[in-house]
């Protein structure tokens, strides 16, 4: 069992950790999908406003591969198709009419039939849990991966981990899911060091990971375990999504319950909840505190800020509510600032440790400058042999060929976000990475 003990990286000590047993929520009045959260997906609707849908019936499919379907989590009525700029569908809202209906019944799938497994995962709404390296798209319906990395680790700030998301009863589904995936390609299973989950691996190659963020990020793990070779692609997904795959392969109703975490200093009582897939953010969070708040689907590093009246993400199992007010400090640049913590060793608390969770605000805390390379980025880079200063300079210079040479396709989103977090020049490396990848897609 290969062990990856990583030392570099950073656990951001942000306040608002959820605790306790998951709270069972009442059924919501509406649920919704945001097709925009699936990178590279163009949705084609299977329903119209006002249509009634059954739990487990398709709402929309991928334009490029009609087999890849997205299913309604509940029996209800299509209430609204919200559109954003250029008429992109931002939310497909379903009003819940019968929260307990069993809906469409799936048959059990033969776990020795690779085609049947592939078809079932696509048609039963599980395919979008896979993402490809290097581009992080949903794999096309007929593609074959060089390897599949299933990650049961999570190190993102305040993101819920396997201990919360994978219950005792889920283990058999996990094992079934992993066995099914093994028919699609060689499976690598990443677990936290010392975790009992390793016993669920079956025939998959198990890897243990430990260390600060981004040690638990599957993109980083792909780089360390099974980087894509040549023009091929490697898939990755989270182990808790494989649990859902295991469930649909066993048959029965569409599994529509998920555990979400409501975290951050803007949540009155940070907690875990058991809720219907696609529940409203407000249901999951319960009561928020403060006037000005930023609602984030996912973590503060790579999550997406959305309006408070929207719905939870399908695959990011956390909602972070961040107080959205920034105070300025008098002469903050020159004083010791005893109360503040920083990754850089220029504050007293950088040496002593943060001394507990830090109430962070979305301030930039500085003017944007050219990169002054004092060598800090390397301290959060886990992927081997990538020099962030050079990679990002080549992206700024629109030099695609150079950027690819320097590891544009190997750079991960979490590492870029960490570089952004610690950058004293306040350069947004994660935005530059997106720009670089877009540049690559346009050329290819």
C-beta of 240 vs 347, nearer to other proteins: 347
Whether 95 and 237 have beta carbons less than 8 Å apart is answered as no
Decide: is 429 part of the binding site for other proteins (CB under 8 A): yes
Which range, of 19-27, 192-200, 236-244, 384-392, touches other proteins by CB under 8 A? 384-392
DSSP annotation string for 243-303: HHHHHHHH-BS---EEEEEEESTTBSS-EEEEEETT-BHHHHH-SB-SSSEEEEES-TTT-
Q: How far is the CB of 235 from other proteins (least distance, A)?
A: 13
293-297 and 234-238: which strand pairing? unpaired
Q: Which letter, b or e, does each residue of 35-47 get, where b requires 16 or more Cβ atoms within 10 Å of its Cβ?
A: bebbeebebebbb
Among 226, 273, 276, 306, binds other proteins (CB under 8 A): 226
Q: How far is the CB of 205 from other proteins (least distance, A)?
A: 11
| Residue 419 C-beta-side C-alpha neighbours within 13 Å | 29
Q: What is the C-alpha radius of gyration for the chain, rounded to an integer number of angstroms?
A: 22
C-beta of 131 vs 247, nearer to other proteins: 131
C-beta of 96 vs 150, nearer to other proteins: 150
* Residue carrying the six token digits 């190190």: 155
Residues 147-166 that bind other proteins (CB under 8 A): 147
- Listed in order, strand segments (DSSP E) in 137-264 are 148-151, 187-192, 205-210, 234-238, 257-263
* Residue carrying the six token digits 């039939």: 113
Per-position x/- string for 321-340, each x denoting binding to other proteins as judged by CB under 8 A, each - no binding:
-x-x-xxxxxxxxx--x--x
- Count residues contacting other proteins (CB under 8 A)? 78
Whether 286 and 212 have beta carbons less than 8 Å apart is answered as no
What phi and psi, each to the nearest 5 degrees, are found at residue 130?
Answer: -80, 140
C-beta of 169 vs 330, nearer to other proteins: 330
Decide: is 424 part of the binding site for other proteins (CB under 8 A): yes
Three-state DSSP at 139 gives: coil
Per-position x/- string for 404-423, each x denoting binding to other proteins as judged by CB under 8 A, each - no binding:
-xxx--x------xx-xxxx
C-beta of 291 vs 385, nearer to other proteins: 385
* Residue carrying the six token digits 């979400």: 260
Residues 253-282 that bind other proteins (CB under 8 A): none
Decide: is 371 part of the binding site for other proteins (CB under 8 A): yes
C-beta of 166 vs 423, nearer to other proteins: 423
Decide: is 364 part of the binding site for other proteins (CB under 8 A): yes
C-alpha span between 272 and 69 (Å, rounded): 28
Per-position x/- string for 227-256, each x denoting binding to other proteins as judged by CB under 8 A, each - no binding:
xxx---------------------------
C-alpha span between 84 and 360 (Å, rounded): 30
Among 101, 387, 396, 439, binds other proteins (CB under 8 A): 387
Decide: is 347 part of the binding site for other proteins (CB under 8 A): yes
C-beta of 256 vs 420, nearer to other proteins: 420
């Amino acid at each position: 069992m290969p062990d990856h003990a990583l030392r570099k990286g950073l656990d951001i000590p942000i306040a608002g950790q959820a605790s306790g047993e998951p709270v069972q929520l009442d059924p919501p009045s509406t649920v919704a999908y945001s097709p925009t959260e699936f990178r590279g997906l163009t949705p084609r609707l299977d329903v119209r406003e006002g249509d009634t849908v059954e739990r487990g019936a398709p709402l929309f499919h991928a334009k490029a591969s009609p087999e890849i379907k997205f299913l309604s989590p509940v029996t209800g009525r299509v209430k609204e198709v919200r559109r954003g700029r250029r008429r992109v569908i931002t939310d497909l809202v379903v009003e819940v009419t019968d929260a307990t209906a069993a809906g469409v019944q799936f048959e059990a799938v033969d776990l020795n039939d690779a085609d049947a497994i592939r078809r079932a995962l696509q048609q039963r709404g599980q395919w979008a849990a896979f993402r490809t390296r290097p581009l992080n798209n949903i794999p096309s319906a007929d593609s074959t991966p060089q390897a599949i990395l299933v990650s049961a680790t999570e190190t993102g700030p305040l993101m819920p981990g396997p201990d919360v998301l994978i219950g005792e009863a889920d283990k058999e589904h996990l094992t079934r899911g992993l066995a099914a995936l093994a028919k699609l390609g060689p499976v690598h299973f990443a677990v936290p060091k010392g975790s009992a989950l390793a016993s669920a691996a079956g025939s998959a190659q198990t890897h243990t990971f430990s260390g600060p963020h981004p040690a638990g990020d599957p993109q980083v793990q792909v780089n360390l375990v099974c980087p894509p070779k040549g023009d091929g692609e490697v898939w990755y997904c989270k182990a808790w999504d494989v649990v859902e795959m295991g469930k649909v392969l066993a048959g029965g109703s569409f599994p529509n319950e998920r555990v979400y975490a409501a975290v951050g200093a803007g949540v009155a009582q940070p907690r875990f909840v058991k809720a219907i897939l696609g529940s409203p953010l407000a249901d999951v969070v319960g009561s928020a505190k403060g006037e000005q708040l930023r609602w984030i689907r996912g973590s503060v590093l790579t999550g997406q800020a959305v309006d408070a009246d929207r719905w939870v993400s399908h695959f990011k199992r956390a909602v972070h509510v961040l107080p959205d007010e920034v105070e300025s400090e008098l002469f903050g640049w020159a004083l010791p600032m005893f109360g503040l913590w920083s990754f850089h060793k220029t504050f007293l608390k950088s040496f002593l440790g943060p001394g507990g969770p830090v109430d962070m605000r979305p301030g930039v805390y500085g003017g944007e400058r050219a990169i002054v390379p004092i060598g800090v980025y390397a301290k959060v880079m886990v992927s081997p042999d990538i020099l962030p200063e050079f990679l990002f300079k080549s992206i700024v210079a629109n030099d695609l060929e150079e950027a690819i040479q320097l590891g544009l396709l190997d750079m991960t989103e979490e590492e870029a976000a960490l570089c952004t977090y610690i950058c004293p020049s306040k350069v947004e490396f994660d935005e530059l990475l997106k720009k670089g990848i877009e540049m690559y897609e346009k050329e290819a």
